[in-house]
Every structure is written in structure tokens, then in C-alpha cells.
Structure 1
């Protein structure tokens, strides 16, 4: 039996502090035959979770301790024409625009949310937080997609100023 108590939470925070990604997860599944994803995830301020989506599943997020925002995005598709009247090239550009920010804080009575299937999302950690997240499909085998930007000002973890750029769209 797994007990979720202060000792486990403190241990996850200590491991997250040692992790360059500033987060640490704990698999809650009890067998390899379990094809769901159920985990605790300790997240420290400064961690950057790539914007991602789960096309085949909703994701349930419950905040056990801390304060953070779940940020949801929609895809915006634009078409631009380039060329003269005889030959026109049409370019398709896909961008993301923030559509909703859900503030989670158990002391304020805001415990969690359900991210709709296929919705692009990430989290912004305000203070050290631990979430329980659950969705259909094992991690890495569920068809999830991540947005990874390669740009100046991005460090080896793929983080940096990209959240700020997305906010500007």
C-alpha cells in the first residue's frame, strides 16, 4: 500500500531540488500491466513543463500542496500569400494562443481541474507544488505531443523565454 503523507511529499521536494529540471515524479501504478498514467509530480518554481497535449485522453490534475496555474492554449492557424499575380505561394502558420489560466491553490479551495482531450497545456509553478495527475495510456506510449521550441535564450533543458513568447501571441 502506498501512503501519500508529509514524508513522501518532503522526499519528492528534496529530489526535485537535486534535479536540473526542478521536478520529480513518483509512479503510483502498482504493476506494469496497468496501462494508465497515475503519478505524483513535485514541481518547483522555475521548472518549465513543455506545452503539450494528450490527443487520446483527458488529464486529471489534483493539487495536493502548493500554488500553480494550469495554462490552456488553442491552436491558431493563419495562411499568408506570397508572390505575384501569376504564382502565389500560400504558407500555413500554426501558433498557440493562451485561452484560459486556472489558478490552483488548495488553501483557496481550488483543488484541481480536468484538461480536455487534445487541449494544449502546461503549468506555471508559483510555489513548490505536488500534483497527482492521471490519464489514459502509459507515459511515452499514449500519443502525447510536446511543443519544443529551439530558439536563442533557450537552455539545455529546452526552457527559457518561450512561455513569454507564447503569451505575446
Structure 2
């Protein structure tokens, strides 16, 4: 399989039809896989709570679009903001395990996202919103 504009366009159409305004295209075989690899298409306005992954770091590499990745402290105050914009040479961010973070989608975006598996849903104590 090739990751190309056609794939990103197809996932974008599915994101546009989703009430969440985002859609994953999983590249891993199962939710139990040791590495969770996916294309994540995110549209402006997608709701995403400030959250953390206590058990794993997370890596985003932007394929198209523009978005901010925002880090927060335990009280919910912003500590850092990273603009992901390939036209400016900002291609990705590494999010340490346990780091509170959120995103602000500026324009329709597609990212390649990687984190350790298996998949674990967020628990209430892993969300600030």
C-alpha cells in the first residue's frame, strides 16, 4: 500500500461525514498490536479533550494541512505550542509519555501517528476537559 493523495483524500471524505470531524485509517493489524500506526485526518472544529497517555510517548508527523499541538501542565495551563506546517518546515512533534496535550486544527490536516500498543482507551483521569 502506498500513502498518497488518493488515500488521504478518501480518509478526508470519511472525516467530513463523521460527527467527530476526524477519521483514522489504521495501518496496524489489530488494537493489540505493539505499535499503533495510523493516518489521522482532522478537520477544523474536531472536539479533542486535553489528554495524556501515561503508558506511551506519541509521535505526530504532518502529511498535509496545518495544526497546533499544545502542551499543558497538570493545572491545565499551556506550557508549549508547536505549529505543524510542512510549508514552514515544521513536520512533527514527539509527545512524551504522560504529557498533557491537545490540538487546534487550523486547516484540514492529515498526520501519521505512532504510539506504543496495545490500544488503551482514555480513562477519566487522563482527560482535563
Fold agreement, TM-score > 0.5? yes
Quote the residue 2:97 is aligned against. 117
Structure 1 residues 139-154: aligned runs within 5 Å: 139-140=119-120, 146-147=126-127, 149=129
Q: Is the 8 A contact 2:60 2:111 kept in 1?
A: yes
Quote the residue 1:131 is aligned against. 111
Equivalents in 1 of 2:42, 2:79: separation in Å? 23
Correspondence 1:26 to 2:25: yes
Q: Is the 8 A contact 1:27 1:38 kept in 2?
A: yes
Correspondence 1:48 to 2:10: no
Out of 97, 105, 109, which is 2:85 matched to?
Answer: 105
Measured against aligned partners, the alpha-carbon deviations of 1:41-70 in whole angstroms (never above 9, x if no partner) come to: 000001121111111111011000000000
Equivalents in 1 of 2:57, 2:80: separation in Å? 16
Structure 1, unmatched stretches of 5+, are 76-94, 150-169
Compared CA separation, residues 144 and 138, structure 1 to 2 (3 A): farther
Q: Is the 8 A contact 2:64 2:86 kept in 1?
A: yes
